[in-house]
Amino acid sequence: MERRLSKQAPKIVVVGSMNMDLMIRCDALPCPGETKMAQQCEEFCGGKGANQAVAAARAGGHVTMIGRVGEDGFGETMLHNLTANDVQTSSVIRTAACGSGMAAVMVEDSGQNSILVVPGANGRLTSEDVSSHAEIIGEADVVMLQLEVPLPTVQTVMEIANDADTKIILDPAPVIAPLPEPLFAADLFCPNESEAAALVGFDVHDLDSARRAAEALHDRGVPSVVVTLGDRGAWLTTFGLSQVFPAYPIDVLDTTAAGDAFAGALAVEWARTNDLAAATRYATAAGALAASKRGAQTGLPFEDDIQSLIRKHI
């Protein structure tokens, strides 16, 4: 689907991971020590960084990806896929003598999933790499970060962005607890329930506990927090505002990249409107649409589809 972006489309920079996902479908996830027969195995381009880059591009942003891939077939395929989705890849580094990142994603019929990630070239992304792209980061409206690349690299990006007054969204996944204190300098956290629980030290399972988790992270110094709650929507806590955004009704097929769709759309709409409530509503619609389709990046929604779902439920 060809997109026509206006010159006013927000500039989004994503610094993060690129993985080739081996998607294994089964009726139910295996328990520890259990061997089960799967239904199907497919290859999809993924990685939280690349997923969020494609999500932001489809949601209406001018997106640049910064990261590393290996000099292998997976790396070539992932770069081609990003380019096909209008993501700028000139800042992606090819890494010699190292395989690209990959992930084994097991998805059961209910839509729930379990994921094992091999970092590969993602683990070689250094502070020097991102410092060499400081101008690109500084010119962005929003920089997006996750935790599938080395933490010192993430911290360097945050320092560059903060010096340039570039907004920072941190998706703290895969969760690291305790989270290093410098990472609380992000402008916005967007964890899911389990990530929020690991960060705050208590169970997050409903709207009240999501509110308390968001407020706890807010008290740690994060100006704004959005906790995603799956079929219960999202909870936003920011200066002067604490609000729940109900989920849009959809038939769940695959939740693999729903959080990435949420984060990418959130970045674009926040940069475009400077209104976190509007951005959270837009992101909630994007996450719902992503969960209604199979595949990580193949199921990410386009701007017109997101707006259409929102209009349908006004």
Tens of pLDDT along 205-258?
Answer: 999 999 999 999 999 999 999 999 988 899 999 987 889 999 898 888 777 789
Identify the pLDDT of residue 263.
98
- Model-level pTM? 0.90
Does residue 21 carry a catalytic annotation? Answer: no
Q: Compute CA distances 223 → 196, 198, 236, whole Å.
A: 15, 19, 11
Percentage of the chain surpassing pLDDT 70?
97
* Residue of 171, 187, 254, 260 with catalytic role: 260
The answer to whether 200 and 220 are in contact (CB under 8 A) is: no
CATH architecture for the domain at 11-17+47-100+122-312? 3-Layer(aba) Sandwich (3.40)
CA–CA distance, 174 with 259 (Å, rounded to integer)? 12
| Token duo for residue 300 | 């990410």
Query: Max CA-CA distance within the chain?
Result: 54
Identify the pLDDT of residue 2.
38
